Amino acid sequence: MIGLFGGTFDPVHYGHLRPALEIYSALKLDEMRFIPAAQPPHRQTPQASASQRRDMLELALADQPGFVLDDRELRRAGPSYMIDTLISLRADLGPARPMCLVLGLDAFAGLESWHRWQELLDLAHIVIAQRPALDQGLAETQIELSEKLQGLLSEHLTEQPDQLEAQPSGSLYRLTVTQLAISASMIRTACEKGKSCRYLLPEAVYQYIQRTGLYQSPE
């Protein structure tokens, strides 16, 4: 079974890598593929170039068996729609191999804005990575799901990870993962202000940013 972790990775950081590792272990995946988007449809053009984001991912993934960089979206022209990526992965992996698209609960809540979203489950399972309720005493940010998405959940939700192995696609599964309060934008902002982003991301990626001057505003 293959996990698919899409993102801008501008840059990759521990907030991506730790949840990815937990999902990789919990679902006993053969591979977790990191798929950097060329032109994310829902957001601004990344600050780092495609090749810089690829370089940083390569450095970040090098030491972890099973973590694989898949740069097909960078090699494709036009917006990086997940549906096209899944179609292309299906063509490579064949019809029977289970694929699990990993989405944060917030990304899942916005699924209806994705191009041809209703077809995603025909091609892959969706694993919803959710934050542990660490702060139960505090007011938690509630993520509201639309009626359509609640319907999708009740129709496709499985509590059994074995179910994911048994079918190539079609199930929704929720998994609690450690979410670190790290975002790529906070790293870019720190660099722009001349502050250090060390220990928020792998040392090799930190060194790369230092060496290339990436994200640092020009003098």
Q: Using CB under 6 A as the criterion, which residues of the chain lie in contact with ligand ATP when the complex forms? A: 7-10, 15-16, 19, 103-104, 107, 179-180, 182-185
Residue 96: CB minimum distance to ligand ATP, A: 26
For residue 108, give both structure tokens: 């899942």
Q: Which is nearer to ligand ATP, 189 or 212 (CB)?
A: 189
Least distance to ligand ATP, CB of residue 94, Å: 26
Give the helix ranges, DSSP H, for 103-213: 105-109, 120-123, 147-156, 161-166, 184-192, 203-212
Residue number, 163 or 176, with CB nearest to ligand ATP? 176
| Rounded alpha-carbon distances, angstroms, from residue 203 to 58, 68, 81, 197 | 13, 18, 31, 10
CA atoms of 169 and 38, how far apart (whole Å): 25
Q: How far is the CB of 19 from ligand ATP (least distance, A)?
A: 5
Considering the complex, state which of residue 129 and residue 164 has its C-beta at the smaller distance from ligand ATP. Answer: 129
Nearer to ligand ATP, 157 or 180 (CB): 180
Report the nearest approach of ligand ATP to the CB of residue 45 (Å). Answer: 11
Q: Which stretches does DSSP call E strand in the chain?
A: 2-7, 31-36, 67-69, 99-104, 125-130, 172-176
CB nearer to ligand ATP: pick between 166 and 199 = 199
List, in order, residues 6 or more apart from 189 with CB less than 8 Å away: none
For ligand ATP, give the closer residue by CB, 48 or 164.
48
Look up tokens 């190539």; give the residue: 168
Classify residue 105 as exposed, middle or buried by CB count within 10 Å of its CB (0-12, 13-18, 19+): middle
Nearest approach, Cβ of residue 164 and ligand ATP (Å): 19
- C-beta of 61: minimal distance to ligand ATP in Å? 14
